[in-house]
Amino acid sequence: MGNTLYLIRHGDTEGTLKDMFYGSTDLPLAEEGVQQIKSLCDQGAYPEPEGAKLYTSGMLRTEQTFELIFGNREHEIIHDLREVGVGIFEMKTMNEVLQHDEARAWLEGKKEFMDFPEGETNDGFIERVARGLDVLKGDVQHSDVVGVLHGAVIFTCMEMLFPAVKEKAWHWTPSPASGYAITFDGLKPVKYRKIG
């Protein structure tokens, strides 16, 4: 078997704790998120960084999560892997989002995808995540790779890596501070396990 790609979601923020829609809003970790990550670190949930290629999306919550797990280590930023911009729904509660007909249809599974008004299109988001994932997949040929990223980014990556697994995209979304370890055989992702 080859190397492993680790996709780790940032810890809890005000947005995740209050079940809000947000993506481009650059929220910091909440204190609960800090404690959650420290607890998982104590349990040995995260990979060792030695010899791995390390990345974040560059957003504040991923930078803070990275530092709590790996300390003040050098890492690179892949801007293509920042969270989806949800436009008019930024920092809205689920109840507020459900007042919007198209969003309600999408959330209820009656509509396959949604272009966010004043935010990103579904196609645009998928295209940029694919570009970012290509960087990670290129690096995993040579070493383990760690990306500290976002919920929608990770579920989109998992859909791309394991298209034969017929899950709804949402089902791939890891809890805050959790994620996946994906084992590669050459260029091919062959298995995954949950971490965190």
Cβ contact 141:54 at 8 Å: no
Number of domains observed in the structure of the chain: 1
Residue whose entry in the numeric block shows the structure tokens 């404690």? 35
- State the pLDDT at residue 109: 84
CATH number, residue 35:
3.40.50.1240
| Residue 171, SS3 per DSSP | helix
- State the pLDDT at residue 169: 67
Which range marks the domain in which residue 20 is found? 4-195
- State the pLDDT at residue 113: 87
Which tokens hold the place of 46?
A: 């995260």
Residue numbers of the chain with a pLDDT score lower than 70: 169
- State the pLDDT at residue 166: 76
- State the pLDDT at residue 99: 94
CB atoms under 10 Å from CB of 48, counted, come to 10
Collect all residues with Cβ–Cβ distance below 8 Å to 2 and sequence separation of at least 6. Answer: 140, 141, 183, 184, 185, 186
Cβ contact 87:120 at 8 Å: yes
